[in-house]
Amino acid sequence: MLSEFQKQKFSNLFRIHDLNRGGTLGRNDFEELARRIALAEGWPEKSPAHLALHERMQGVWQGIGEYADLDQDGQVTEAEWLEFWDGVISNPILYQRLALPLGEVIYQMLDINQDGLISQQEWFAFYQVLDLPTSLAKEMFTQLDTDHSGTLSVAEVITAYEVFLQSDTPSLPGNQLFGRLSGGQA
């Protein structure tokens, strides 16, 4: 069962992904995310990079929709979203099948130039696409760059992602991965 803190984190993540502000998540929100990332990178609409990203985002939506869209109406409500994440986190098989691959997709989205590392510029662009504050992007990059290399590795990002998914400790940096919660808890 999700704790109240986890519910706050996942509700915040829901709102971030609801890019059209329609109150539900659907294919269009994930298409919009791909469009925004491509625009931020300056990729033309039919470029190979844009098409590959669009295909990846469609895969993310299909995976989420298959498990989270309980009434199969093509939309995921916040209640369905929370139930989805509760099921994923509490079931080791689903966690391996869904949560970890989503983390890898997030990393691939962040690693725009596909060099295996996330630069500050790539990190800031991701936060800008999600309408998250630049100040948080700077803070998170510094906290997550545990080896002080000036870039983020797969391990650093995946560790933060897993903290976000599993932790009930507001002070851990991964809990701020997708923004601060109201009341300053994360």
Q: Is the pLDDT of residue 181 over 80?
A: no
Domain presence at residue 138: yes
- Residue 112: give its domain's CATH number: 1.10.238.10
Domain presence at residue 184: no
Between 93 and 101, residue with greater pLDDT? 93
Closest residue by Cα to residue 60 from 109, 130, 94: 109
**Average pLDDT over all residues of the chain:** 90
**Strand-pair partners of 152:** 118
Cβ partners under 8 Å of residue 157, min gap 6 = 103, 106, 107, 110, 118, 144
Q: How many domains does the chain divide into?
A: 1
Beta strands in the chain (DSSP E): 25-26, 75-76
Cβ atoms of 34 and 26 within 8 Å: the answer is no
Domain presence at residue 181: no
pLDDT tens readout for residues 61-78: 998 899 999 999 999 999
Domain presence at residue 186: no
Domain presence at residue 180: no
Between 112 and 182, residue with greater pLDDT? 112
Parent domain of 39: 4-174
pLDDT tens readout for residues 143-164: 999 999 999 998 999 999 999 9
pLDDT of 179: 84
- pLDDT class for 184, splitting at 50, 70, 90? very low
Closest residue by Cα to residue 30 from 75, 80, 97: 75
The Cα–Cα gap between 79 and 83 comes to 6
Domain presence at residue 98: yes
Between 110 and 18, residue with greater pLDDT? 18
Domain presence at residue 32: yes
pLDDT tens readout for residues 163-173: 999 999 998 98
